[in-house]
């Protein structure tokens, strides 16, 4: 017999509607144990809606969704007991101090008082908020609030952690600090599902990810492979001018035009730039590595959302 | 959606107490600011109307005027404490503080959260009523041992007003619209439930109406019997009305809240 570890989340044709609007339209994915799985997508793509169904706080309309091998419709308490959640919107309890927030939250999970005190103290240390212990939460900076919510999500020692835009609105220092914490958790084999629209965040943290738009999954894979598959290794950029375009049209090179630049996705950047210099006499050519952002923009378009 | 979906029995566990505990913890840290306001108004009425206006009234249904309104003010203190806790208090926690959202990400269900809120509302009623009872007793306006029963009873009637308040909270589009039930329902109830004058002074039809739809009427009757020490079989009818109304409003409020919050 083969040893078989069941996936942590299995979703098949998962669907959610709000009236006429289909927020999540038949998505399927599987999250394996101990991996960091990302949902990348522009605002309104349906990421939060998907997270809320996994958390058992929003009922699905159709499809199958199992967490820890249990159905989200019938085993909500058992599932919620082992999940930690960092919601998109901060919802710390403004009636309590930093310490009390964690302590009161641990009570909802039936953690005995003594154990809870120890755990709260070690979590405060983990997110570097020991000094703010007795401060009311509305006095905290944005980054501290997010860290406290991360600590709160960990009070029940969850085996699955859901992070819905964990670093939204934070400055680079605060973001990097939080990233390190998340990497630390990954080392402890916590399964993590995270949503983001920061491409570097997804590339830096995720083992695998999906890109979502308008409620659907467009691609799935690990960040490097996705970039290789959809873009290539590099992007060659030249200024968008009439002569540039007419010269490019004479070649067999595929290109994308933006407002002020033309982009060529390629695996042979040296070849391309040599040809452009020779055949078109371009002077300004930029070559850079392809990123997830290129894939993202290619697949979801450049139109502004919301 | 059928009407029966508003009367589905909630499934609850001991976890409702965790929500109660949360509110109690907050209450204890803000005791000074929290306790006085809902307590003040029944006491002010007791002194201003009872002692002031009351000197012109010698006898009303066989007792002095202040003796007549003292039990009503105990009842009003219950109503204010629990109704406002589960309207403005719960609305702030639900909408502005996102407290319910945070709690339902744990093993608690929304049904348990709402029930815990209402049990806390009932507790507020007991706390306030106890204080008013003590003051009224010091003034010699309550018979013992009957009046001791007011304390457990205040939890029951507080629960009724908590459920009533929660129903309004569940359908209120914003916090300002909660002023309407306060002005259009609570204030008339405060005046016309046999509080300041006997119900028998009202036109017959309004008397029936008061018995039919004003919970405070039944609560005042019970407490008046207890403070004056004159028990009556009619109290049983009052109590049945209160219990039935509580049960219906309890189930209704939980279902209304579920419809509002589970999307
Ligand atoms: N409670 C709701 N009621 C109605 N529409 C909603 C609700 N929640 C989300 N939506 C809509 O569903 C779509 C997906 O939203 P969301 O999951 O929040 O996207 P994302 O998290 O990817 O930004 C959006 O169009 C949003 O307006
Ligand atoms: Mg979102």
Cα B240 to Cα A219: distance, rounded to the nearest angstrom: 63
Q: Are A206 and A251 in contact (CB under 8 A)?
A: no
Q: Do A87 and B104 touch (CB under 8 A)?
A: no
Give B24's strand partners.
none
User: How far separated are the first and last CA of chain A, in Å rounded?
Assistant: 52
Cα B241 to Cα B219: distance, rounded to the nearest angstrom: 10
Q: What residues flank ligand 1, with Cβ below 6 Å?
A: A 18, 21, 23, 41, 43-49; B 263
Please report the residues numbered 244 through 263 in chain B whose beta carbons come closer than 8 angstroms to any beta carbon of chain A.
262-263
Closest ligand 1 atom to A49 CA: 17
Residue B91's pLDDT is what? 98
Evaluate if residue A1 carries a pLDDT over 60.
Answer: no
Residue B54's pLDDT is what? 87
Residue A291's pLDDT is what? 87
Cα B191 to Cα B171: distance, rounded to the nearest angstrom: 25
Q: Are B90 and A76 in contact (CB under 8 A)?
A: no
Residue B143's pLDDT is what? 94
Nearest by CB to B105, which of A59, A85, A110? A85
Distance A35 CA to ligand 2 centre (A): 21
Evaluate if residue A3 carries a pLDDT over 70.
Answer: no
The pair of three-digit structure tokens given for residue B192, joined into one six-digit string:
């016309």
Looking at the complex, does the CB of residue B90 fall below 8 Å from at least one CB of chain A? no
Cα B175 to Cα A31: distance, rounded to the nearest angstrom: 41
- pLDDT tens-digit profile of B212-225? 999 999 999 999 99
Low-confidence spans in chain B with pLDDT less than 70: 1, 38
Measuring CA to CA, which residue among B24, B20, B173 is closest to residue B103?
B20
Measuring CA to CA, which residue among A290, A37, A59 is closest to residue A161?
A37
Q: What is the ipTM of this complex?
A: 0.91
Residue in the structure block whose two tokens are 């509080």: B195
Residue A306's pLDDT is what? 61
**pLDDT band at A8, cuts 50/70/90?**
very high
Between A280 and A159, whose confidence is greater? A159
Question: Could you tell me the sign of the dihedral formed by the alpha carbons of A75, A77, A81, A85, in that order?
Answer: positive
Cα B147 to Cα B136: distance, rounded to the nearest angstrom: 10
- Interface of A to B at Cβ within 8 Å reads 18, 55, 57-59, 76-77, 80-81, 83, 85, 87, 89, 91-96, 100, 104-105, 107-110, 156
Residue A56's pLDDT is what? 97
Distance B134 CA to ligand 1 centre (A): 53
Give B228's strand partners.
none
Q: Are B178 and B168 in contact (CB under 8 A)?
A: yes
Cis status, amide bond into A4, omega within 30 of 0: no
Contacts (Cβ under 8 Å, ≥6 apart) of B185: none
**What string of DSSP letters covers A14-56?**
EEEEETTEEEEEEEEEEE-TT-EEEEE--TTSSHHHHHHHHTT
% of chain A with per-residue pLDDT over 90: 67
Looking at the complex, does the CB of residue B146 fall below 8 Å from at least one CB of chain A? no
Distance A50 CA to ligand 2 centre (A): 9
Q: Are A55 and A65 in contact (CB under 8 A)?
A: no
- From its phi and psi, is residue A44 left (phi > 0), alpha (psi between -120 and 50) or beta? left
% of chain B with per-residue pLDDT over 70: 99
Residue A281's pLDDT is what? 75
Enumerate the residues of chain B whose CB falls inside 8 A of the CB of residue A103: none
Mean pLDDT across chain A? 92
Q: Do B105 and A87 touch (CB under 8 A)?
A: yes
B243 CA: distance to closest CA in chain A (Å): 30
Enumerate the residues of chain A whose CB falls inside 8 A of the CB of residue B117: none
Q: CA distances (Å), A41 to each of A65, A210, A249, A273, A305, in order?
A: 21, 8, 33, 32, 11
B262 CA: distance to closest CA in chain A (Å): 6
- pLDDT tens-digit profile of A62-119? 999 999 999 999 999 999 999 999 999 999 999 999 999 999 999 999 999 999 999 9
Residue B135's pLDDT is what? 92
B201 CA: distance to closest CA in chain A (Å): 47
Cα A117 to Cα A115: distance, rounded to the nearest angstrom: 5
Closest residue in B to A93 (Cα–Cα): B99
pLDDT mean over A203-232: 92
């Amino acid at each position: 017999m083969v040893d078989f570890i069941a996936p942590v989340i299995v979703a098949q044709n998962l669907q959610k509607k709000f009236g006429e609007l289909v927020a999540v339209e038949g998505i399927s994915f599987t999250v394996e144990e101990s991996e960091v799985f990302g949902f990348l997508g522009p605002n309104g793509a349906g990421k939060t809606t998907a997270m809320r169904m996994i958390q058992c706080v929003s009922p699905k309309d159709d499809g199958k969704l199992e967490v820890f091998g249990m159905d989200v419709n019938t085993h909500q308490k058992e599932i919620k007991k082992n999940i930690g959640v960092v919601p998109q919107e901060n919802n710390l309890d403004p009636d309590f101090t930093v310490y009390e927030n964690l302590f009161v939250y641990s009570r909802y999970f039936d953690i005995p008082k003594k154990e809870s005190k120890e755990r709260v103290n070690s979590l405060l240390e983990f997110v570097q908020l020991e000094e703010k212990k007795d401060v009311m939460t509305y006095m905290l900076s944005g980054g501290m609030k997010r860290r406290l919510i991360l600590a709160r999500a960990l009070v029940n020692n969850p085996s699955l952690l859901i992070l819905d835009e964990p670093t939204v609105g934070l400055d680079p220092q605060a973001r990097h600090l939080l990233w390190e914490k998340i990497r630390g958790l990954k080392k402890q084999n916590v399964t993590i599902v995270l949503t983001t629209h920061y491409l570097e965040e997804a590339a830096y943290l995720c083992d695998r990810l999906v890109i979502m738009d308008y409620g659907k999954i467009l691609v799935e894979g690990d960040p490097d492979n996705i970039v290789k598959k959809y873009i290539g290794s590099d992007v060659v950029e030249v200024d968008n001018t009439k002569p540039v375009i007419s010269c490019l049209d004479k070649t067999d090179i595929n290109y994308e035009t933006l407002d002020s630049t033309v982009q060529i996705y390629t695996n042979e950047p040296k070849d391309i730039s040599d040809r452009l210099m020779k055949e078109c006499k371009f002077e300004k050519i930029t070559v850079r590595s392809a990123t997830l952002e290129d894939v993202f923009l290619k697949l979801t378009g450049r139109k502004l959302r919301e | 959606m059928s009407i029966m979906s508003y009367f589905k029995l909630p499934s609850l566990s001991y976890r409702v107490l965790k929500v109660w505990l949360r509110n109690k913890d907050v209450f204890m840290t803000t005791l000074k600011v929290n306790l006085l306001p809902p307590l003040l108004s029944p006491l002010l009425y007791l002194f201003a109307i009872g002692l002031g206006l009351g000197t012109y009234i010698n006898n009303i249904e066989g007792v002095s005027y202040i003796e007549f309104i003292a039990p009503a003010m105990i009842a009003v203190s219950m109503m204010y404490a629990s109704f406002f806790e589960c309207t403005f208090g719960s609305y702030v926690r639900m909408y502005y503080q996102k407290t319910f959202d945070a709690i339902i990400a744990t093993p608690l269900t929304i049904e348990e959260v709402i029930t815990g809120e209402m049990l806390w509302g009932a507790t507020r009623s007991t706390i306030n009523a106890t204080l008013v009872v003590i003051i009224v007793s010091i003034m010699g306006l309550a018979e013992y041992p009957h009046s001791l029963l007011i304390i457990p009873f205040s939890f029951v009637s507080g629960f009724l007003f908590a459920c009533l308040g929660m129903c309004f909270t569940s359908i209120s589009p914003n916090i300002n619209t909660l002023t309407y039930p306060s002005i259009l329902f609570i204030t008339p109830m405060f005046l016309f439930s046999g509080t300041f004058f006997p119900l028998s002074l009202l036109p017959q039809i309004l008397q029936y109406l008061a018995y039919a739809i004003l919970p405070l009427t039944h609560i005042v009757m019970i407490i008046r019997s207890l403070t004056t020490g004159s028990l009556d079989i009619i109290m049983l009818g009052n109590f049945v009305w209160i219990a039935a109304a509580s049960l219906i409003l309890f189930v209704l409020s939980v279902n209304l809240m579920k419809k509002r919050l589970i999307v």
